[in-house]
Amino acid sequence: MLDRFIEAKKEELERLRLQEANGTLPAPLEIDRPSLKRQLQEAPSVAVVAEYKRASPSKGIINPRLGAKEAAEAYAAGGAAAISVLTEKAHFHGSLAFLERAQVAGLPLLRKDFLFHPLQIAESAATPAAAVLLIVRYFLETPGTLKTLVEQAQAYGLETVVEVFSEAEIDLARQAGADIIQVNNRDLDTLQVDLDRSYALGKRKQAGEVWISASGINAPQHCVALGERGFDAVLVGTWLMQHKEPAAALRYLRGVGPGMATAKSTPFFEQG
């Protein structure tokens, strides 16, 4: 799957190269971007980064009736600390325009995509994103490129969420200057999910770092267990997107207020 994701970005990179050559690459937005790291650090309990995710390779279209603006408003109402916006087109039906629509919530926005080229970071700076996702597995043979992209993002005023899948990748993330580290419980090659990955890697957290656990989280007890292992936040997408009332589902996940019955009993559709 990882090779397929990279292959799908070729057309995008060709467009960005052409824009750079023609001088039409969008300029960085001159805006005050809220700090994702600070927002997660200051949360009173395990924070939730709620994701707007139109589709996925494993689930197909998740909820065609829920727009980015409406999702962002629901996530804010449900107590999300930040919003992740999946912008990849080929496999996730995403769009950069979703970032503009999601900023209505006033929360830090994470651009989640398959980013591995400086022009993609430059393009991200022209959006309201507060942070971008960088996946260490893309840079195993070129760790210097990862460091370059982290530094480039910082120069634009963007934070970086650096995703890892193993202890060795944690070391590479730190060498690149990462201080927001995300453990993906989903293997990008097989798409299998295992929460034990976060439980095992959480012991590697160091002072000053913010850690996020992503994929496979769908119950309050998951958030509690991850918090006990040092995680500051969880990232949840499909599980929230599939509910008719994502705000209620989010409150249930956070373990606060009403909404548990609603979140459990009214999925948008039954997942296969």
| 214: its two tokens | 């992503």
Write down the pLDDT at residue 42.
95
C-alpha distance from residue 188 to each of 105, 137, 138 (Å): 30, 9, 11
Tell me if 128 sits within 8 A of 109, measured CB to CB. yes
> How do the domains of the chain map onto residue ranges?
33-263
Q: What is the pLDDT of residue 262?
A: 41
CB 61 within 8 A of CB 53: no
Rounded to two decimals, the pTM is: 0.93
Q: How far apart are CA 56 and CA 215, in angstroms?
A: 12
The secondary structure of residue 22, as a DSSP letter, is H
Strands 60-61 and 55-56: antiparallel
Q: Cα 181–184–185 angle (5° rounding)?
A: 140
44-89 residue pLDDT tens: 999 999 999 999 887 889 998 999 999 999 999 999 999 999 999 9
User: How many other CB atoms are there within 10 angstroms of residue 148's CB atom?
Assistant: 15
> What is the second-level CATH architecture of the domain 33-263?
Alpha-Beta Barrel (3.20)
Residue type, 19: Q
Ranges in the chain, pLDDT < 70: 1, 257-272
pLDDT at 151: 98
Please identify which residue in the block is written with the tokens 């899948």: 165
* Per-position DSSP letters for 56-122, written without gaps between them: ETTTEE--TT--HHHHHHHHHHHT-SEEEEE--STTT---THHHHHHGGG-S-EEEES---SHHHHH
